[in-house]
Amino acid sequence: MQKQDVVDFKNQITMLLKNLDIPLSEDDLLKIIEVPPEKNMGDYALPCFKLSKLLKKPPKAIADELALKIQGNLPDYLECVDSLNGYLNMFIKKTVYFESVLETILAKGYDYGSSLIGGGKKVTIDFSSPNIAKPFHVGHFKATILGYSLYNIYKFCGYDCIGINYLGDWGTQFGKLIVAYKLWGNKKEVEDNPIKALYSLYVKFHDEAEKDPSLVTEAQAWFKKMEDGDNEALSLWHWFKAESLEEFQKLYDILGVKFDVVVGESYYNDKVDNVVKLLESKNLLSQSEGAFIVDLEQDNMPPCLIKKSDGASLYATRDIAAALDRKEKYNFDKALYVVAVQQNLHFKQWFKVIELLGYDWYSNLAHVGFGMVSLETGTIKTRTGNVVFIEDVINKAVEKVKFIIENKNTTLKNKDEAAEKIAVGAMIFSFLSDTSYKDTVFSLDKVLDFNGETGPYLQYTYARICSLLDKAKVEVSSKIDYSVIVDDSIIDIFKIAYEFPDTILLAMSKNEPSIIAKSIMTLAQAFNSFYHSNTIITDDKTLMHARLAVVKVTQTILHNGLRLLGIEPLKEI
């Protein structure tokens, strides 16, 4: 990985060792030099076991010799070196290390940690993608914030991102909805509360269809009408769609999430024939029970369904058509699909079909799957069926935060706005703090605990820092006396700050914002321990300037980390 701007000490050490005639290439050295698990083992260590074989000497003897040589002519960035149990441990001079970090942070500010690695290459990120007239549930919420965080991260790393909200706006369910609306619907109810009203109709349709199966046939007929371009069917569908979108938009506004493209599955209806033709021309299409499929037996997968016996297109076909279209429109270097792991097979299947079609860019398609989030029962009541509407969860969270803020007696002017931001930030942090694929249980009380490992804890720390910097009214500079800042917590803070650019690259390469979430949580904890054992604003100016530099470093990293997760850092709470 390429490090930007901060001095690359690992590289310097590699050069140093290389000049000592170590029989390993630079690349090999870079690979084996480690960051030791304990602080007292130095900042970097060279394990001498591989060398022992090459040099036919015990590792300890090699480490001893190297330590002696380096110690005799110590470069100015090293404090000391030490031989321990076959390792050569190297300690970077804290002043040099801190100065490098501080200088870079002061120079780059809120760009610190960004890079140009992406080189402007295009990444499409398909995320959120709820279904029209259906609840925006917890899974969509996770897809939304995970996708948006990845969007921010890739952008920060120099990619040109195209965020796509691929709405589920086509399928037989709309036939059912039309039948239900015509039988039991009410215009005003839909306008007042679109998703809930439409979803209730959908639920009612299923209840009634159990008693009267002719409803299903009727629904199929209405969907067929939609496919054939019937005016009445399409105008109802347009209306359902417009109402739903308006409702979704409210949520996106609260979350601060934006898309570059909002496009429904329906957009690909007239493009699926082309997919069918392509598959035919490559002899990939076969018929099974009247339907058209791509056989994937050789790849140990069930067949990919392309076209139903009644001619209706399918989810996978539309995804294939959309991928071809996106490749042509954006010529993406990478296409990410942020969708729950339940759809693993779907993505594997149609990615395979792209490969079988002979497109070498199949390997640039990636499904970023995530595990299930269940809600701790009892905390959130559901209003329709068993589905939890995410807006109900957010409303409840906002209420709770308001209550907490009231009791904190702050001088905050805009409490309602702050409460909403804290509540949303709390939810985002909790959804992004665990490895994405893990199944998790969401508890509102836990995520709102201002003292736990939570969003509010980070927000609170950030606000505390901003108020410290405001109060001090000092321009932080890198010309400080580094010898007065020696606490362990400060070493932790600078280490996290030093590694932050790499942390972001790692999060990007693994499509895992939780790596950033963990890093800023550890940072906030280190900061609070520093803050509790040191007075920052003091009469001793040397000390104050040095400590304020630590505060500034923390502020920048926290700010950038929160932003990358999609959480707005608040100066005041």
**Structural contact between residues 345 and 375, judged by C-beta atoms closer than 8 angstroms:** no
- Annotate 194-210 with DSSP letters as a single string: HHHHHHHHHHHHHHHHH
Nearer CB in complex with ligand ARG: 185/264: 264
What b-and-e string marks burial along 45-76, b requiring 16 or more CB atoms within 10 Å of the CB?
Answer: bbbbeebbeeeeeebeebbbbbbeebeeeeee
Which residues lie closer than 8 Å to 358 by C-beta, 6 or more apart? 282
Q: Which stretch binds ligand ARG (CB under 6 A): 114-122, 128-136, 462-470, 473-481?
A: 128-136
Choose among 39, 163, 135, 136: nearest CA to 94: 39
Q: Which of 104, 114, 129, 436 binds ligand ARG (CB under 6 A)?
A: 129
Q: Across the beta sheet with 285-288, what order do the strands follow?
A: 285-288, 291-294, 304-307
State in angstroms the smallest separation of the CB of 338 from ligand ARG: 8
State in angstroms the smallest separation of the CB of 173 from ligand ARG: 11
Helix (H) or strand (E) holding 554: helix 541-565
Nearer CB in complex with ligand ARG: 82/325: 325
State in angstroms the smallest separation of the CB of 95 from ligand ARG: 51
Nearer CB in complex with ligand ARG: 341/472: 341
Instruction: State the Cα–Cα distance between residues 245 and 247, nearest whole angstrom.
Output: 5
In 410-505, the DSSP E strands lie at: 440-442
Choose among 480, 425, 469: nearest CA to 102: 480
The residues pairing with 162 across neighbouring beta strands, listed in sequence order, are: 124
Q: Which of 70, 339, 393, 567 binds ligand ARG (CB under 6 A)?
A: 339
Nearer CB in complex with ligand ARG: 301/491: 301
State in angstroms the smallest separation of the CB of 370 from ligand ARG: 12
Q: Which CA distances in Å does 416 have to 379, 401, 447, 450, 467?
A: 22, 9, 19, 17, 20
- Could you tell me the two tokens for 245? 């979108």
Q: Which stretch binds ligand ARG (CB under 6 A): 59-67, 101-109, 129-137, 269-277?
A: 129-137
Residues 470-529 that bind ligand ARG (CB under 6 A): none
Instruction: State the Cα–Cα distance between residues 541 and 485, nearest whole angstrom.
Output: 13
Nearer CB in complex with ligand ARG: 314/523: 314
- Each residue 265-304 as x (binds ligand ARG by CB under 6 A) or -, in order, gives ----------------------------------------
**Structural contact between residues 384 and 197, judged by C-beta atoms closer than 8 angstroms:** no
Instruction: State the Cα–Cα distance between residues 447 and 397, nearest whole angstrom.
Output: 9
CA angle 460, 431, 434 (to 5 degrees): 95
Choose among 306, 318, 311: nearest CA to 223: 311
Does 169 bind ligand ARG (CB under 6 A)? Our answer is no
Nearer CB in complex with ligand ARG: 124/430: 124
Residues 303-332 that bind ligand ARG (CB under 6 A): 319
Nearer CB in complex with ligand ARG: 44/127: 127
Nearer CB in complex with ligand ARG: 344/538: 344
Nearer CB in complex with ligand ARG: 173/478: 173
- Each residue 88-127 as x (binds ligand ARG by CB under 6 A) or -, in order, gives --------------------------------------x-
State in angstroms the smallest separation of the CB of 207 from ligand ARG: 22
State in angstroms the smallest separation of the CB of 191 from ligand ARG: 24
- Could you tell me the two tokens for 114? 């960004």
The residues pairing with 373 across neighbouring beta strands, listed in sequence order, are: 440
State in angstroms the smallest separation of the CB of 66 from ligand ARG: 54
Residue nearest to ligand ARG (CB): 168
Nearer CB in complex with ligand ARG: 350/531: 350
State in angstroms the smallest separation of the CB of 44 from ligand ARG: 43
State in angstroms the smallest separation of the CB of 126 from ligand ARG: 5
Nearer CB in complex with ligand ARG: 186/344: 344
State in angstroms the smallest separation of the CB of 347 from ligand ARG: 8
Which residues lie closer than 8 Å to 437 by C-beta, 6 or more apart? 341, 369, 370, 371
Q: At what angle do helices 138-156 and 231-255 cross, to 10 degrees?
A: 60
Q: Across the beta sheet with 78-84, what order do the strands follow?
A: 44-47, 87-92, 78-84
State in angstroms the smallest separation of the CB of 166 from ligand ARG: 5
Nearer CB in complex with ligand ARG: 118/135: 135
Number of residues interacting with ligand ARG: please give it, by CB under 6 A: 9
State in angstroms the smallest separation of the CB of 168 from ligand ARG: 3
Q: Which of 199, 337, 431, 527 binds ligand ARG (CB under 6 A)?
A: 337
Does 131 bind ligand ARG (CB under 6 A)? Our answer is yes
Q: Which of 87, 136, 156, 166 binds ligand ARG (CB under 6 A)?
A: 166
State in angstroms the smallest separation of the CB of 447 from ligand ARG: 24
- Annotate 353-381 with DSSP letters as a single string: HHHHTT-GGGGGEEEEEE--EEEPTTTS-
Instruction: State the Cα–Cα distance between residues 219 and 204, nearest whole angstrom.
Output: 13
Choose among 557, 485, 502: nearest CA to 524: 557
Nearer CB in complex with ligand ARG: 321/523: 321
- Each residue 434-473 as x (binds ligand ARG by CB under 6 A) or -, in order, gives ----------------------------------------
Does 530 bind ligand ARG (CB under 6 A)? Our answer is no
Place of tokens 């149609």: 350
State in angstroms the smallest separation of the CB of 144 from ligand ARG: 11
Q: Which CA distances in Å does 273 have to 83, 168, 287, 378, 422?
A: 69, 19, 16, 48, 48
User: Which stretches of the chain bind ligand ARG, using CB under 6 A?
Assistant: 126, 129-131, 166, 168, 319, 337, 339
